[in-house]
Amino acid sequence: MPEQDGPVTPEVPPRAVSLPRQQERPTPPPYPGEVTDTPPAYPDHAGPPAYPGAETPPPYPGRAEPPACPGQEAPPPYPQPAGPPSYPGAEAPPPPYPVEPAPPAYPAELPPAYPGGGAPPPPYPAEAGRPVPPAGGGAERAGHDDLALQSGRKHLKAYQRGVDGAALSQLVVTVPTAVISLALVSSAASLLNPALALLLPAVWLLSGPLVFHRSAEAAIARFLLGMRRPTPAEAERLSAVWEEVTRRAGVNQGTYELWVQERAELNATAAAGHIVGVTRHALDRLPNSRLAAVLAHELGHHVGGHPWAAMLADWYALPARVVWRLITTVVLLLLGSRNLAGIACGGCLSVTFVWFVYVLTFTESMWWITLPVAIGPFFVAWLHRRAECRADDYAAGLGFGDELMAVLAEEHRAQTKPEAAAQPAVGGAHSRFEARLRHLQRSTAGRHRPAGQP
């Protein structure tokens, strides 16, 4: 062991040193201006002083509820699209939010579009003192204005007036009767004064074209056909319809005059050279489209020359028909009398007339007069039906085929009613309507058939 110079210190083993126990640190005070979750406690656990003028203290800053203004009630709720929110503290619920009513349902059938836009024209005003037409037929529509206006014309060439086969045939058939009338006029003139034997027949022959003068036609329409001039309201409506018809046909509107007949039937008449008459019943019952169809039919008669040919035929056949009516009336009166002498005279007159016709036909070889006179009425009736079909085709060509068929069907139903069927039909009215309807159906079907289809 080595030697030590100083005193020796004994070795002490190391031991753990215990540090003083650390004390819990106190919570530091809040930083000035910092908002804590809990307000400071008031002394003696008393609440804050009451707010002046308010029943309840205002909420602490930082909450969602705004403070109530002193002395004022709660404001009304602000309207919102989905409904107003409930106001805090309100006792009664707010009134329901007004809901806009749903618009009325539009009718399933859309009204027809009127040309040029805008509202439809008012219905045709009824005249004072005239009853409103009953519902039914074409009058169930609102007003009368349902005519589809069109521009341009339907025909490539416009005919103001002409002559077709039906008119020319009627003139030819009437020639024998006109010859007999001329002989009767010459005989009457020679009996009255021999100097008038040539003058009176010449005046009578030249008087035919005079019936087409405007004043003469007006007299015929007023006194023979029972027509009258239309009232201002009727003239306004007829002018609008007639303008559409004549524009489609390419005919001058002022070429013909429109008159009104006081007759209880859906009909119109083409007379003389410039007269187109329509019944008052047709004006009351027919809408403008069907009225235009009826007027187009009558215009077809004028364009085909049927009225003036019929008037010339009737005028030149008038003397012969007057004599024939006198003879037949006298014979029927004598044969219908209870006097034996009268019956004998009627029989003798009948035999004499038959003998005269026989001699004139076979002995004098004038069968070309007697034969056409005998069969003329049947042929003329057939020509009249032919002329009606031609006029129907003309109206269908202007685009009024369906409307004209509706008018004919309605008139046919009126003619076939039980009270009307009990009366005898004049001239075969029922068969005439049926024949015209069949002809129009074929004509309209042919016009509506696509090109190339048989």
Whole-model pTM? 0.62
Task: Give the contacts of 297 (CB within 8 A, at least 6 positions apart).
Answer: 268, 391, 392, 394, 395, 400, 404
pLDDT in tens, 305-315: 999 999 999 99
Residue 292 placed within a domain: yes
- CA 397, CA 391: separation in Å to the nearest integer? 10
Q: Which long-range contacts (CB under 8 A, 24 or more apart) does 344-350 make?
A: none
Residues 6+ apart with CB under 8 A from 133: 139, 284, 285
Which residue range is the domain that position 372 belongs to? Answer: 165-447
Q: Return the SS3 of 131.
A: coil
Q: Which residues have a Cβ under 8 Å from the Cβ of 138 and sit 6 or more positions away?
A: 285, 286, 287, 290, 406, 407, 410
Pick the closest to residue 431 from 370, 399, 388, 369 (CA basis).
Answer: 388
Q: Give one DSSP letter per residue of 170-223, joined into a string.
A: HHHHHHHHHHHHHHHHHHHHHHH-TTHHHHHHHHHHHTTGGGGSHHHHHHIIII
Residue 154: partners with Cβ closer than 8 Å, 6 or more residues away: 248, 249, 250, 397, 398, 399
> pLDDT band at 106, cuts 50/70/90?
very low
Give the model's confidence band at 43: pLDDT under 50 very low, under 70 low, under 90 confident, else very high: low
Residue percentage of the chain with pLDDT more than 90 = 17
User: How many domains does the chain contain in total?
Assistant: 1
The answer as to whether 40 is a domain residue is: no
Distances (CA, A) of 154 to 97, 250, 391, 439: 62, 8, 15, 21
Residue at 150 is within a domain: no
Q: Domain for residue 348, yes or no?
A: yes
The answer as to whether 306 is a domain residue is yes
Judge whether 234 lies within some domain.
yes
Q: How confident is the model at residue 279 (pLDDT cuts 50, 70, 90)?
A: very high
CB atoms within 10 A of CB 383: 22
> What would the mean pLDDT of 295-314 be, rounded to a whole number?
92
User: Of 33-37, 147-151, 224-228, 368-372, where does the model show the most confidence?
Assistant: 224-228
Tokens 């009425």, located at residue: 377
- What integer pLDDT is reported at residue 427 of this predicted model? 41
Q: Which of 16-25, 106-115, 206-215 is least confident? A: 106-115
The answer to whether position 7 is within a domain reads no
Cross-strand pairs, 260: 228, 278
DSSP string, 82-122: T-PPPPTT-SSPPPPPPPPPPPPPPPSSPPPPPTTSSPPPP
**Per-residue tokens: 41:** 């406690």
C-alpha to C-alpha distance for 121 and 118, rounded to whole angstroms: 9
Give the residue ranges of DSSP H helices in 360-400.
367-397
Residue 328 lies in a domain: yes
Query: Of 11-15, 96-100, 354-358, 428-432, where does mean pLDDT reach its minimum?
Result: 11-15
Inter-residue contact 313 to 174 (CB < 8 Å):
yes
